[in-house]
Amino acid sequence: MLVTIVDALAGKPGIGEEVTVQGWVRTRRDSKAGLSFINVHDGSCFNPIQAVVDNTIENYSSEVIKLTAGCAVKITGKLVESQGKGQSFEIQATTVEVLGWVEDPDTYPMQPKRHSMEFLRDNAHLRPRTNISGAVARVRNTIAQAVHRFFHENGFNWIHTPIITASDAEGAGEMFRVSTLDQMNLPKDDKGNIDYSKDFFGSESFLTVSGQLNVEAYCMAMSKVYTFGPTFRAENSNTSRHLAEFWMVEPEIAFADLNDNADLAEDMMRYVFEAVLNEREDDMEFFQQRVDSECINRLRNVIDNKFERMDYTDVIDILKKSDKKFEYPVEWGIDLQSEHERFIAEEHVGRPTVVMNYPKDIKAFYMRLNDDEKTVAAMDVLAPGIGEIIGGAQREERLDVLDKRIAEMGLPAEHYWWYRDLRRYGTVPHAGFGLGFDRCVSYVTGVANIRDVIPFPRVPNNVKF
């Protein structure tokens, strides 16, 4: 019976049964007694399964003892309890079929040893074969599935917002333009400006920087919605927290204010972290031992404790009063820098912290103006070790206030004609946020660089794969 390795290691379909597994060799060890021990992984769980092969097997000397890391094999044999430490079941092989050899084993990049993260990044096509990248891929999948399950169980509809968007002018400097190859030589007017009316869509178009504006339209009809997909920003900053292509989870809820929004963010994170601890015990234990000894405690801490909630103004006071020397001077009105965010979440609070009510001048036009007329109902969730992991807000639902903000910020009002319609026809208070999915994977696993938690990272000067 063909089984996955996770099932075989759990003793399915039963002791003494004949099973077949397919996968890739991680290691081979030969004993003097004419036995070979082959560890095989297939991605279904953290641990490989051990197959014990004895030299009476027909292709033992011609093939089995030539197996090296990376070879693909199909092994059939009896599932038996293992004598070896740390593993429950193993296979007493009766046949070993080699499905794919590794050419020139000496130069195979993924030798079974510890590689640097830089080396793995340069071999992004092969790194899923390593313990660490395999574990990241499984945990990433579990988080994504749990996100969908959470929203499904709470009555949200998943809305597929577009990847190609019209300009929302907001993220101007960070947008990737979309154009067809044969439209690269678009005509220019006398002033040298490109005539985009001749472009594919008849006007400028860009890769999405956020699905929010579009998802708000669905929120104003379906009450509880979310979008979850890739997002693009031409981030020039070479940091361990930014990618040019990253994934974002963006829920939007109607008849809701900023506190409802913060509650939703907390509930979602708690749900997802519980799923990870329940479903990916093996991978999380690996991360705890090899990457970050605190990673499991950190998730438990989130599950067991409410997030701290603070006003931006109070955060500024705390930062000013602290003895810590910050590189970027602290003053009411600044956008919090990573060093400030991390100080608050890591040192001052010690767990995720929701900071609310930021100065309006540093936040987007669509965030709801507070009664003080100086701040908006924005919130960021700051996580220890990461800084900002979520950015969100109650949206401005009053057309007159929205128009004033658009004008104040010098944005082109005509771009927002449909967004303004949402305020003209049955407007209600609503709120939403964006969770940086990759930052969340980083937070969960303790893998510090965001380039190591996404399969093929897109960063400046690198689109090799």
Question: Is 432 one of the binding residues for Mg ion (CB under 5 A)?
Answer: no
Question: Is 30 one of the binding residues for ligand ATP (CB under 6 A)?
Answer: no
- If the CB atoms of residues 352 and 436 are measured against ligand ATP, the closer one turns out to be 436
Token pair 């005539």: residue: 195
Question: Is 242 one of the binding residues for ligand ATP (CB under 6 A)?
Answer: yes
| Nearest position to Mg ion, beta carbon | 391
Sequence length of the chain is 465
**Dihedral (C-alpha) 167, 169, 170, 171: value to the nearest 10 degrees?**
70
Question: Is 248 one of the binding residues for ligand ATP (CB under 6 A)?
Answer: yes
Question: Is 265 one of the binding residues for ligand ATP (CB under 6 A)?
Answer: no
Interatomic CA distance for residues 212 and 162, integer angstroms: 11
Q: Look at residue 248 and give the partner it binds from Mg ion, ligand ATP, none, a contact being a CB closer than 5 to 8 Å depending on partner kind.
A: ligand ATP
Question: Is 391 one of the binding residues for Mg ion (CB under 5 A)?
Answer: yes
Using the contact rule CB under 6 A, the part of the chain among 199-207, 239-247, 352-360, 414-422 near ligand ATP is: 239-247
Q: Do residues 49 and 40 make contact, with C-beta atoms less than 8 angstroms apart?
A: yes
Token pair 């009896």: residue: 78
How far is CA 370 from each of CA 56, 335, 400, rounded to the nearest angstrom?
80, 18, 14
| Nearest position to ligand ATP, beta carbon | 436
Neighbours of 368 (CB within 10 A): 23
Using the contact rule CB under 5 A, the part of the chain among 84-92, 195-203, 326-334, 380-388 near Mg ion is: 380-388
Stretch 407-436 residues interacting with ligand ATP (CB under 6 A) = 434, 436
Q: Could you report how far apart the first and last alpha carbons of the chain are, in Å?
A: 37
Q: Look at residue 247 and give the partner it binds from ligand ATP, Mg ion, none, a contact being a CB closer than 5 to 8 Å depending on partner kind.
A: none
Question: Is 268 one of the binding residues for ligand ATP (CB under 6 A)?
Answer: no
Taking each helix axis from N to C terminus, what angle separates 399-408 and 417-424, rounded to the nearest 10 degrees? 150
Question: Is 246 one of the binding residues for ligand ATP (CB under 6 A)?
Answer: yes
Q: What SS3 class is residue 147?
A: helix
R_g (Cα) of the chain, nearest Å: 27
Helix, strand, coil percentages, rounded to 5, for the chain: 35, 25, 40
**Cα torsion angle, 211, 264, 262, 285, sign:** negative
Interatomic CA distance for residues 28 and 299, integer angstroms: 36
Question: Is 233 one of the binding residues for ligand ATP (CB under 6 A)?
Answer: yes
Question: Is 392 one of the binding residues for Mg ion (CB under 5 A)?
Answer: no
Neighbours of 370 (CB within 10 A): 17
Binding to ligand ATP by CB under 6 A, coded x per residue (else -) over 359-398, reads: -----------------------------xxxx-------
Taking each helix axis from N to C terminus, what angle separates 281-290 and 258-279, rounded to the nearest 10 degrees? 90
Q: Cβ 397 to ligand ATP, closest distance in Å?
A: 20
Question: Is 220 one of the binding residues for ligand ATP (CB under 6 A)?
Answer: no
- If the CB atoms of residues 75 and 454 are measured against ligand ATP, the closer one turns out to be 454
Interatomic CA distance for residues 41 and 339, integer angstroms: 41
Question: Is 387 one of the binding residues for Mg ion (CB under 5 A)?
Answer: no
Q: Cβ 192 to Mg ion, closest distance in Å?
A: 30
Question: Is 438 one of the binding residues for ligand ATP (CB under 6 A)?
Answer: yes
Q: Cβ 174 to ligand ATP, closest distance in Å?
A: 8
- If the CB atoms of residues 7 and 341 are measured against Mg ion, the closer one turns out to be 341
Interface pick for ligand ATP out of 17, 30, 42, 235 (rule CB under 6 A): 235
Q: What SS3 class is residue 368?
A: coil
Q: Look at residue 389 and give the partner it binds from ligand ATP, Mg ion, none, a contact being a CB closer than 5 to 8 Å depending on partner kind.
A: ligand ATP
Supply 456's token pair.
């093929």
Q: Do residues 25 and 71 make contact, with C-beta atoms less than 8 angstroms apart?
A: yes
Q: Cβ 175 to ligand ATP, closest distance in Å?
A: 12
Q: Cβ 193 to Mg ion, closest distance in Å?
A: 28
The residues binding Mg ion (CB under 5 A) are 388, 391
* Contacting positions for ligand ATP (CB under 6 A): 233, 235, 241-243, 246, 248, 388-391, 434, 436, 438-439, 450
